Structure 1
Amino acid sequence: MRQHTKMPFATQAAGGCAALLTLAACTGSADVSSDNDLALGTPVPVESPALDTAVLTRSTPHLTLDTSGGVWLSWTERITDSTVRVRVARHDGTRWDSVRTAAARPLFVNWADFPSVLALPNGDLVTHWLEREGSGKYAYGVRVSRSRDAGRSWSAPVSPHTDGLEAEHGFVSMWAEGASDVGLVWLDGRKSAMPDSAREMTIRSAVLGADGALRDEALLDARACDCCQTGTALTGDGRVVVYRDRTAEEIRDIAISRRTSSGWSAPQIVHPDQWHYAGCPVNGPQAASRGDTVVVAWFAAPNDSARVRVVRSVDGGRTFGEPVRVDEGNPMGRVDVELDPDGQPIVSWLEQRTADSSDVLVRRVRFSESGAMASASMAVASTSSARQSGFPRLVATRNGLLAAWTTVKPSLRIQLARIPYTSQNSR
């Protein structure tokens, strides 16, 4: 990820919304108001399995659900200045299983582009991480490894990109492709695709079979934002991928591509923020789906007015309604989104409070034909505003959300909380 492309911008929305009582005050949408019945329950701390005090740091959590309803957490631990290990553990709803090591090597890891874990329908686990592929500052590639025994042992890593060039490859999203194969999408800066690979990235995808063979390599977009996360979801009509686009005029709005019977569709803009920004905001979108309903959450700051929005599609991502703004007026972004049991989105993000501190906030939104309503935002935890606080993650379970985030002081460590779907106060 190119740190030098990140540029400052104002994050205080005009007029502010810190004392927001209804979303209409911040969105300008008269049909959006607060609803106490949407209030989430009080967060309950969950013990972290990342407790090894012998390591230097513990950070970059990622959460995924398996077919039995268990939650897999992955994270990174820095053992020495040059060696990082990827760790995984499973929570069965009551306790964590044994912590296992997926990789321990000189990885390429930073606060925004981090490893993940995926649980496949056949019971296999898959992890990805990044490793350097040359002497260049931004020459690194994706590695994928599989475990067939719940993380006790792992296969030799393979790479989903076949260019063999010293270029950037990262910001991966993975999904199950059938019972045992893995789909991946990533940012790719290979020079064969563009002469100026130091400034532009492509969006590419491939499928990695259980036998380690690659197929269905595809180019989704020839020019995307340099270092924003990708997101993906499965609809009743097929897979969708969301990411931050980049035009020749440096407009960096959120785009979606749908996989159809004839391949990936041409990208379309989810909502025209028209955010002109001559740098990478390091703030990608996330998506969730159920049937033909797709929700996308993202951060943007057009006209120096930062905001976090969520929008819904009811036709598999072909078209979207009007977005709803969920932040309190000074968001840092770093969003995630999940659907509750009724199919309503719950969005998380970081809201800056001071120069050094921010809150992990969540808010539920109810879309309907007559408009949209939302709960009040709820603080899950306080953390730092520094880059090292990373990207809080959510996963939706039967009994509530599980949230994971990184705290910076006194050292980098991972914390978790369970958030019930129902608040006692809303009954």
Structure 2
Amino acid sequence: MTSTETLRYFSGVCALAAAVMLASCGERAGEHGGAPSSAGIVVTELELNAAPGSGEPNLTVGPDGRAYLSWIEPAADSAHALRFAVLEDGRWSAPRTIASGRGWFVNWADFPSLAVLPGNRMAAQWLQRGGESKYAYDVRVAVSADGGVTWTPGVTPHTDGTQTEHGFVSMWPARGDSVALVWLDGRKFKPSADEHAAGNEMTLRYTTIGGDGRAAPDLELDGRVCDCCQTGMAMTGRGPLVVYRDRSAAEVRDIYVTRMVDGAWTPGQPVHADGWVMPACPVNGPQAAAEGDRVAVAWYTGADSTAQVKVAFSGDAGATFGAPARVDGGNPEGRVDVVLLDDGGALVSWIERTGEKEAEVHVRHVGADGTMGEPRTVAGSSSARSSGFPRMVPAGEHLVFAWTAPGDPSMVRAARMPLSDLR
């Protein structure tokens, strides 16, 4: 974000927070599910050998059904290291280093990820500073052919050469031994110009990187998107689907979806018309999950001056979505994730404020018909940026969580709980 956008962001968030507090005073107890309960749920913390100061965790599931956790931790001489571990028989493996170095862009909201491919291949992405400007940084992607023992030095998938923002990546296995990714791209952004000029916009772009580490030419999927909200993706039975926060000329910042159909990406369409007019980026992106033609998308919105976490379902691989259901407990910070279940419903996680600065990581079952289970508390947290974005994945009979425990220093933590307790 530019300095002007940052100021506008905080102004918008402060106004929204005030409106939310006023609105909450008039809500009936239990209107959004009441106080969360952890009765009957067993949360087992999983010991992880992450260094003090670690953060920015992310999770993915490999073809073998195992959970993979990646994170960033400090290294010597003001450097950083990207590391990962695999959950095996309820224990994290010894961490391995993917890459390390100085000059990284390390940010609470824009964090690395892994993609695990068949044939013992893996890909990882992180962010490297690309200029003197605060938000000039590039995506770097490395690949491994031996299960993460060794890695290539990494390539930059975008070739525009501009000293602007490139990040908020979603990455997934593609055809053969290649990996696909989308990201927010600032090549049209000129900080010295009118930031809302027609030619001064963040875009959503896509490319693939082959097993040889070479990137294909990148494509623009949307020419005007929200500046710094995470992207999300899910693999449906008909192909990949990407969700993101759009930005209209009137500053409406609703959640959009684009799908690859017959080898081409469809124009972005709203998952739901919230109509949230926001003059700056809320730094709160959507997430998606899919199984065959079933899709669930979860997101945060501040439409109508009310902070909300919503989820919507699709039965046609994301071509259309039903009316959304509100999931939160009345005072959400957002930072959502979603998992689709075999019963047709979904689990949605988010951060819920419980005090001035205190918060909790919550998870809730939502049926495909909109029926709600009890909200459950996974862990204590904070509404501060340092608490990051909790992530979850299903692994066997368990739901695996990872989050940043804020503190001095911060620390990546992980836990799991039986899926049967959350249905």
**Shared fold (TM-score greater than 0.5)?**
yes
Does the Cα contact within 8 Å between 1:225 and 1:246 map onto a contact in 2?
A: yes
User: How far did residue 335 of structure 1 move?
Assistant: 0.3
Q: Are the structure 2 counterparts of residues 81 and 283 from structure 1 closer, same or farther at C-alpha, using a change threshold of 3 Å?
A: farther
Shifted more, 248-257 versus 206-215: the winner is: 206-215
Within 1, Cα distance between the matches of 2:243 and 2:288? 7
2:421 maps to amino acid? S
2:347 maps to amino acid? I
Matched, 1:392 2:395: no
User: How far did residue 223 of structure 1 move?
Assistant: 0.3
* Bigger relative CO (Cα 8 Å, ≥ 6 apart): 1
Does the Cα contact within 8 Å between 1:241 and 1:258 map onto a contact in 2?
A: yes
Does the Cα contact within 8 Å between 1:193 and 1:222 map onto a contact in 2?
A: no
Corresponding residue of 1:238 = 239
TM-score, with structure 1 as normaliser:
0.90
Within 2, Cα distance between the matches of 1:160 and 1:115? 15
Q: Are the structure 2 counterparts of residues 311 and 196 from structure 1 closer, same or farther at C-alpha, using a change threshold of 3 Å?
A: farther
Corresponding residue of 2:380 = 382
Shifted more, 184-193 versus 104-113: the winner is: 184-193
Matched, 1:45 2:42: no
Q: Are the structure 2 counterparts of residues 64 and 222 from structure 1 closer, same or farther at C-alpha, using a change threshold of 3 Å?
A: same
Q: How many residues align?
A: 409
Corresponding residue of 1:77 = 73
Does the Cα contact within 8 Å between 1:2 and 1:226 map onto a contact in 2?
A: no
Within 2, Cα distance between the matches of 1:197 and 1:260? 36
Q: Are the structure 2 counterparts of residues 385 and 216 from structure 1 closer, same or farther at C-alpha, using a change threshold of 3 Å?
A: same
Q: Are the structure 2 counterparts of residues 262 and 416 from structure 1 closer, same or farther at C-alpha, using a change threshold of 3 Å?
A: closer
Does the Cα contact within 8 Å between 1:40 and 1:419 map onto a contact in 2?
A: no
Does the Cα contact within 8 Å between 1:16 and 1:329 map onto a contact in 2?
A: no
1:108 maps to amino acid? F
User: How far did residue 385 of structure 1 move?
Assistant: 1.6
Within 1, Cα distance between the matches of 2:230 and 2:275? 19
SS of 1:242 mapped into structure 2? strand
Does the Cα contact within 8 Å between 2:189 and 2:195 map onto a contact in 1?
A: no
User: How far did residue 42 of structure 1 move?
Assistant: 2.5
Within 2, Cα distance between the matches of 1:320 and 1:41? 31
SS of 1:6 mapped into structure 2? helix
Within 1, Cα distance between the matches of 2:75 and 2:33? 48
Q: Are the structure 2 counterparts of residues 174 and 193 from structure 1 closer, same or farther at C-alpha, using a change threshold of 3 Å?
A: farther
- Structure 2, gaps ≥5 residues long: none
Q: 2:9 aligns with which of 6, 27, 30?
A: 6
User: How far did residue 94 of structure 1 move?
Assistant: 2.3
SS of 2:253 mapped into structure 1? coil
Q: Are the structure 2 counterparts of residues 21 and 175 from structure 1 closer, same or farther at C-alpha, using a change threshold of 3 Å?
A: same
Shifted more, 195-204 versus 322-331: the winner is: 195-204
Q: Are the structure 2 counterparts of residues 2 and 99 from structure 1 closer, same or farther at C-alpha, using a change threshold of 3 Å?
A: farther
TM-score, with structure 2 as normaliser:
0.90
User: How far did residue 134 of structure 1 move?
Assistant: 1.7
Does the Cα contact within 8 Å between 1:18 and 1:328 map onto a contact in 2?
A: no
Within 2, Cα distance between the matches of 1:60 and 1:275? 28
Q: 1:64 aligns with which of 60, 70, 85?
A: 60
Corresponding residue of 1:113 = 110
Deviations 1:250-308 (A, max 9, x none): 10000001111151111101111100110110000000000111110000001220000
Within 2, Cα distance between the matches of 1:158 and 1:336? 28
Matched, 1:185 2:182: yes
Note the 1:287-306 alignment, pairs <5 A: 287-306=288-307
Within 2, Cα distance between the matches of 1:59 and 1:209? 29
Within 2, Cα distance between the matches of 1:363 and 1:194? 41
Within 1, Cα distance between the matches of 2:27 and 2:76? 41
